[in-house]
Amino acid sequence: MGGYVPAGRKEYVWESDNPYYEKKKYPEPTVCEECGAVFKNGRWQWPEQLKEPLSKEVNKALCPACRRKRDKYPSGFVYLSGKFFEEHKEEILNRIKNVVDEVMSLRPLQRILWIEEKEDGTTEIATTSEHLARHIGEAVNKAFKGEFEVKYNEGEKLARVFWHRD
Ligand SMILES: [Zn+2]
């Protein structure tokens, strides 16, 4: 436990390299019919990030983040547990929301898919990317201490992040 990072793994890049989702190319501009994100200049951006206004003719599709939401196909999980967590749940979840809002304002594909409370009191947060899961875990651990562990499943491109404090 503690600051465990698996040995031998290359430094992490921000966007997931899962070819099925995040690296797919779309005709430009493509607008996500669910969330309004725009694929332009080779990446997904929010309309307010665009340098110039959109043309009237746009291609429509579902962005990778909305596809993951529809398919219930996260690439990261964060598990929060322990007595301290129970007692400070609202504060910790607010902190996470702020961290994610900040990331998402620049990177539209970095999102939380769901937050779910398990029967044993653990809260599960599903994310669109391994990186975001780790980023959340690190932010919580930095702010609140505790025990922090990241487990990767390379084959499935999945990260499970555990944070615990009693
Ligand atoms: Zn979308």
pLDDT tens digits along 32-68: 999 999 999 999 999 999 988 888 889 999 999 999 9
pLDDT band per the 50, 70, 90 thresholds, residue 8: very low
Say how many Å lie between the CA of residue 36 and the centre of ligand 1: 6
Task: List the single range of 7-16, 32-41, 129-138 with lowest mean pLDDT.
Answer: 7-16
CATH of the domain at 103: 3.30.70
Residues near 87 by beta carbon (within 8 Å), at least 6 away in sequence? none
Report phi then psi at 110, rounded to 5: -95, 105
Better-predicted residue by pLDDT, 132 or 21: 132
Say how many Å lie between the CA of residue 48 and the centre of ligand 1: 15
In a domain, 97, yes or no: yes
Helix (H, G, I), strand (E, B) or coil at 162: strand
Say how many Å lie between the CA of residue 136 and the centre of ligand 1: 21
Instruction: Report the alpha-carbon distance of residue 74 to residue 34 in Å, rounded.
Output: 17
12, 14, 1, 3: which is closest to 142 by C-alpha? 3
Say how many Å lie between the CA of residue 52 and the centre of ligand 1: 20
Structural domain of 93: 70-164
Instruction: Report the alpha-carbon distance of residue 141 to residue 139 in Å, rounded.
Output: 5
Instruction: Report the alpha-carbon distance of residue 112 to residue 120 in Å, rounded.
Output: 21
pLDDT digits (tens, 9 = 90+) for 101-125: 999 999 999 999 999 999 999 999 9
Average pLDDT over residues 143-165: 91
62, 51, 64: which is closest to 21 by C-alpha? 64
Average pLDDT over residues 68-78: 92
Average pLDDT over residues 6-34: 66
Strands across the sheet containing 30-32:
43-45, 38-40, 30-32, 59-61
In a domain, 64, yes or no: no
In a domain, 18, yes or no: no
Say how many Å lie between the CA of residue 151 and the centre of ligand 1: 28
The fraction of the chain above a pLDDT of 90, given in percent, is 75
Say how many Å lie between the CA of residue 144 and the centre of ligand 1: 32
In a domain, 54, yes or no: no
In a domain, 95, yes or no: yes
Say how many Å lie between the CA of residue 10 and the centre of ligand 1: 29
In a domain, 83, yes or no: yes
In a domain, 57, yes or no: no
Say how many Å lie between the CA of residue 58 and the centre of ligand 1: 15
Question: Is residue 80 scored above 50 in pLDDT?
Answer: yes
Better-predicted residue by pLDDT, 63 or 157: 63
Say how many Å lie between the CA of residue 6 and the centre of ligand 1: 32
Instruction: Report the alpha-carbon distance of residue 90 to residue 107 in Å, rounded.
Output: 25
Say how many Å lie between the CA of residue 25 and the centre of ligand 1: 15
Give me the pLDDT at residue 113, please: 96
In a domain, 1, yes or no: no
Q: Domain total for the chain? A: 1
Across all residues in the chain, what is the average pLDDT?
87
Give me the pLDDT at residue 14, please: 41
* Helix spans in 79-148 (H): 83-87, 89-106, 130-144
* Helix spans in the chain (H): 64-71, 83-87, 89-106, 130-144
Give me the pLDDT at residue 18, please: 54
Which residue's structure tokens are 């084959």?
155
Residues with CB under 5 A from ligand 1 (ion): 32, 34-35, 37, 63, 66
